[in-house]
Amino acid sequence: MDIEARTRWGEVLFDPAEPAERRRMRLLEAALDPVTISGLSQLDVQPGWRCWEVGAGSGSIARWLADRAGAANVVCSDIHIEPLRDLAALGVQVTRHDVSTEESPGSDFNLVHARAVLDHLPSRDDVLRRLATALAPGGWLVIDSAWLAPEVSSQPAISRMAWAMDAVMNRAMGTDMIGWPRTLPRPLEAAGLVDVSAQATVPVLRGGNANAGLVWHTLDAISGPALAAGLLTEEELQTARNLLTDPSFVDYSYGLIIARGRRAPGPRAPR
């Protein structure tokens, strides 16, 4: 794998057609859905709300939104839509869409939500601004950002692993899971949103739990290029793998930052 070339998600890393990636996505949902749903629940999503789930992945959050807003009111988009086939059968509008380069697949949304998507897009601040323009007056933009904090890990091998993960993904796709998430919620303010807030949640990373499983599979995906680039040694890799499956290992170096803001309520300016 050439990690110097900038690619899109799935081209050199995280191909959703691969069973290992499907497993990783299931673990991501198991680890992060409770945090995301707790955040979205604060907005009291109502039947009839127009919702856009950006970079929907395997679709667990789009499904949750469909249960509340009504399937026909939910648009879910991704550059890879095969994992979303079941949602289309439910009546959700499933759209193949590149949020970095294409116009929004609609407007006047009451809620636009993206989890672990903007972290992987080099043009994340432009994308965020564009997402904000797809909101109805009073509509909410919610950005959940996967956040690595290598410097707070209790274990050097886990810390090195986290730096290596971010570096490999950065070279491959332009990912930033260390620096950008910590700037939230400023990008939402820069996009002109109001009532802006943010909160970090750090679920326990415990050997063998879903969070550790997600990290284990992510490590597996990046280990080849990380070793080749000298970002990790074989020994560090093995130590990190052992810790991630050892229930006596507990760590708090990976979490989710949830930032939200809304478009000012009020009539649209005349066109």
| Residues within the interface to ligand SAM (CB under 6 A) | 8-10, 28-29, 55-57, 78-80, 98-100, 115-117, 120-121
Comparing CB distances to ligand SAM, the nearer of 94 and 157 is 94
Burial of residue 164, with CB atoms counted within 10 A of its CB: 0-12 exposed, 13-18 middle, 19 or more buried: buried
Least distance (Å) from ligand SAM to the CB of residue 266?
30
Q: Which residues contact 242 (CB under 8 A, 6 or more apart)?
A: none
**Closest CB to ligand SAM among residues 18, 246:** 18
Task: Name the residue with the smallest CB distance to ligand SAM.
Answer: 57
Quick one: 157 or 161, whose CB is closer to ligand SAM? 161
Least distance between ligand SAM and beta carbon 22 (Å) = 11
The structure tokens 């949640």 sit at 201
- C-alpha separations of 104 from 70, 98, 99 in Å: 20, 9, 7
**CB burial of residue 101 (10 Å; 0-12, 13-18, 19+):** exposed
The CA-CA-CA angle for residues 24, 129, 119, to 5°, reads: 25
Which of 260, 118, 107, 103 has its CA nearest to residue 189?
260
Question: In this structure, what DSSP letter does residue 3 have?
Answer: T
- Choose between 95 and 155: whose C-beta lies nearer to ligand SAM: 95
State in angstroms the smallest separation of the CB of 14 from ligand SAM: 7
Q: Which is nearer to ligand SAM, 66 or 157 (CB)?
A: 66
Label residue 226 left, alpha or beta by phi (over 0 means left) and psi (-120 to 50 means alpha): alpha
Query: Widest CA span of the chain, in angstroms?
Result: 63
**50 or 80: CB nearest ligand SAM:** 80
